[in-house]
Amino acid sequence: MDATFDCWTILDLPARSDERSVKRQYARLLKVTRPDEDPIAFQQLREAYERALQLAREGDDGVGGDASFVQTSAAPLVQRPAPVTRPVVRSAQEQAAELLEHFNDDAVDHCWTEAVAKGIEATVEALLFVRCVQAPDASPNLLRWGLETRQWLTPWQQVRPRQSDQERLGHLLSLGLYHRLEQYMAAGDETRFIDCLEHHCRQGWLGDLARRQTLQVQVLDLFFNHGNWSPGLFERVRQLFGWDTESAVVPVVDEQWHTLLTRNEEKKWLGELRALARLGEQHPAPSANAAALFLTGSSAERLQARAATFTEADWQACEQLSQAFITRFPDWPKRFPDHNPWFWKALVGHERPQHVMKRACAAMTITLALGMNGLHPAELPVMVIMSPILILLGVLSAYMGKWLLEHWVTFTEPFYDLDQRVSAWCARHQLTRDRRHLVIRNSVPMLAVAFILWKWLGLLGVVTFVVTGLIGKLQPGRAAPVDRQYRWRRPLQAIYRIAGISVLQWLFCLFMVGLILYVQQNMPGTLLTQGA
C-alpha cells in the first residue's frame, strides 16, 4: 500500500486513475523534471509512472472485490479464483518501430511528443539518429531538430550511438556544408555564403576541435581555388574564425596564408583603383587617369585612345602606379599587357612638332639672305633677282635637314629607353614640358642648327634661335589663340597657319633680323654676326 500511495502522490493523481490520465500527467511532468537538472527526481518520477501504469492496467482487466461478489444459496463455501488474463506488453523497440513506420519529416515535434507519452523517447531518438546517419539529406528537418534541439554530436546529447555512427554523421555534415559553401562561392553569392557559415558555426556539433579545423581548412581551400571573392568577405571570415590578429593560429602553412593575405590586399587595392577610375569620370585627375589606363585591358586601340590626351602629370601618376605594383605586388605583372607593369611607356611616344618644315625653310632663306647682305647697294637689284633662288635654296636645305633627321632618328633607336629615362627626369624637374620631348633625339639636331647659325650669323643668330624657342615654351597659354583654324580675316590665325609661331615670336624675330642687318652694315667682321 505504501508503494501505491507513493506513486499516486508523486504523479499528483487520484488513486486508481486510468491509463490515459497517467500518461498525460507523466508527459506534463516531464516538462518540469529533466534528467540533466535533477536526476533523482526524474528517477522517482519514472518509477512512479511505471508503477501507476501497471496498477491502472490491472484495475481495468481485473475483477472488483465487493461490487462483483454475488451471494447465492447454491454457491460453494470455497471458490477458486478465476484466472486473470494479462495483456501482452510489447517492447520499447517494437513500439518505436511502429511509431516511426509512417514518420513525417514535417512533423518531428509531434512524433517526439508521442514518444515521450509512451515512455520510449530514448529508443525513438536512437532510431532517429541512425536514420540521419543513413540518409541525412532525406530528412533535413529531423537533422536540424537533432542538432539544435537534442544537441547531437555534442557532450550534452542524450542518445549514445556507436562511435562509428557519430563519426560518419559528422563527416557527412562537414561534406554537405562544404558543397553548399562551394556553390555559393562559385555563384558569387557572398551574402548566403557568410550567413550559412555563421549559422553552422553557432551549432554545437562544430564545437568539436577536429570538426572545426576541418571546416576552416575547407573554407581556406575555397578561397584558394576561387578568385571571385571580395576583400569584405575575406575580412568577415577572418573575424569569424579569429584570424584577424597577428597571433592567430591558421590551419595552413605560413607561406599559403601569406599568399592569401597578399591576394586579399591586391583585391582591396584593385577595388580602390576601380573606385578612383569611376570618380575620375566625374572629376578628372592624374591619379584617376592612370588608374583607368591600368584597368583598360590589353587592347592596343583602347590603350592608345585613352593615353592620347595624357599630360606629364598623368605619366608621372602611371610611373607611381607601376612602382607600387612592383614593390607591393610582384605577382601582378602577369595581369598587364606583355606581363610588363611598365607597358604604358610604349604609349608615350615622342613629340612631333608642327610646322617644322615651314620654320626651317623660312629660317634658311632668311639666313642665306642675311649672309649676302655684304653686297653693295648698287647690287640690290641682283639681290631681288636672286630671291627666288634663295627661297629654293632654303627649301632644299630644309629637306636636306629632314633627310638627315630621319637618319638620326634611326641611329638613336637603340638608345630609346635611355632617352625616355632622361626625358622623364627632365620633365619631373620641369626642365622640359613633358617626357614626349625626347631630350637626346631632339637636342642633337637643335645643337646642329645652332652651330650652323653660329657659323653664318654669329652670336646674334644663335640668340635669335634660342630666345624664339624659349618664348614658345614659356609664354602663357592665353598668349596664343585657342582656335588655330586658318582664316585670312583673323591675322593671328594666319600667322599660325604660316609658321605656327605666336605674334610675340614673330615680333622678336623681326627685331633680331633688323638688328643683325644693322650690325652687319655698321660693324662688319664682328663675332656678333660672324662665327669664328
Let me know whether 362 and 330 are in one domain: no
Q: What is the pLDDT of residue 70?
A: 35
**Residues sharing a CB contact under 8 Å with residue 226, sequence separation 6 or more, in sequence order:** 185, 186
Give residue-wise pLDDT tens across range 134-187: 888 888 999 999 998 999 999 888 888 888 999 999 999 999 999 999 999 999
Please say which residue of 348, 378, 394 terminates a domain: 348
pLDDT at residue number 223: 94
Whether residue 58 is contained in a domain is answered as: no
pLDDT recorded at residue 64: 41
Last residue of a domain, one of 323, 348, 373: 348
Specify the pLDDT at position 335. 67
Q: What percentage of the chain reaches a pLDDT higher than 70? A: 81
Domain membership of residue 232 (yes or no) is no
- pLDDT value of position 161: 86
The pLDDT of residue 71 is: 39
First to last CA, the chain: 146
Same domain assignment for residues 435 and 482: yes
Domains identified in the chain, total number:
2
339 and 360 assigned to the same domain: no
Residue 66 lies in a domain: no
pLDDT at 491: 63
Tell me what the pLDDT averaged over the chain comes to. 80
Q: Is the pLDDT of residue 532 over 70?
A: no
Domain co-membership, 365 together with 504: yes
Q: Is the pLDDT of residue 52 over 50?
A: yes
| Winning range, highest mean pLDDT, from 25-34, 79-88, 164-173 | 164-173
The answer on 497 and 404 residing in a single domain is yes
Among 87-101, 397-411, 441-455, the least confident range: 87-101
Predicted confidence (pLDDT) per residue in 116-141, tens digit: 998 888 999 999 999 999 888 888 99
Residue 309 domain boundaries = 263-348
Residue 221 has what pLDDT?
94
The mean per-residue pLDDT over the stretch 475-491 comes to 59
Residues 492 and 383 in one domain: yes
Same domain, yes or no: 401 and 516: yes
Inside any domain, residue 288: yes
Q: Is residue 435 part of a domain?
A: yes
Which of 91, 28, 24, 85 minimizes the C-alpha distance to 53?
A: 24
Above 80 in pLDDT, residue 264? yes
Q: Is the pLDDT of residue 84 over 50?
A: no
Q: Span 510-529, mean pLDDT?
A: 83
Name the burial class of residue 160, with classes exposed (0-12), middle (13-18) and buried (19+) by CB atoms within 10 angstroms of its CB. Answer: exposed
> What cell was used for 80?
477458486
Which of 348, 383, 400 corresponds to the end of one domain? Answer: 348
Highest mean pLDDT, choosing among 191-195, 286-290, 452-456: 191-195
pLDDT above 70: residue 420: yes
Mean pLDDT of all residues in 203-216 = 91
Q: Are residues 460 and 343 in the same domain?
A: no
Please report which helix (H) or strand (E) contains residue 241, including its range: helix 231-241
Give the model's pLDDT for residue 78.
44
The one-letter code for the residue type at 325 is F
Q: Are residues 389 and 480 in the same domain?
A: yes
441 shares its domain with 464: yes
Give 273's contacts (C-beta < 8 A, 6+ positions apart). 291, 294, 295
Q: Which of 37-41, 429-433, 501-505 has the lowest mean pLDDT?
A: 37-41
Q: Is residue 91 part of a domain?
A: no
Q: What pLDDT shows up at residue 373? A: 61
C-alpha–C-alpha distance, residues 44 and 41, integer Å: 5
| CB atoms closer than 10 angstroms to residue 524 | 11
Are 413 and 495 in the same domain? yes
pLDDT at residue 239, rounded to an integer? 93
Q: What is the pLDDT of residues 373-391, one digit of tens each?
A: 655 555 556 666 777 887 7
For residue 122, how many other CB atoms are within 10 A of its CB?
Answer: 14
Domain contains 7: no
Q: Give the CA angle between residues 200, 203, 209 to the nearest 5°.
A: 95
Query: Averaged over 438-467, what is the pLDDT?
Result: 85
419 and 499 both lie in a single domain: yes
Q: How far apart are CA 388 and CA 366, in angstroms?
A: 12
pLDDT value at residue 479: 60
In a domain, 298, yes or no: yes
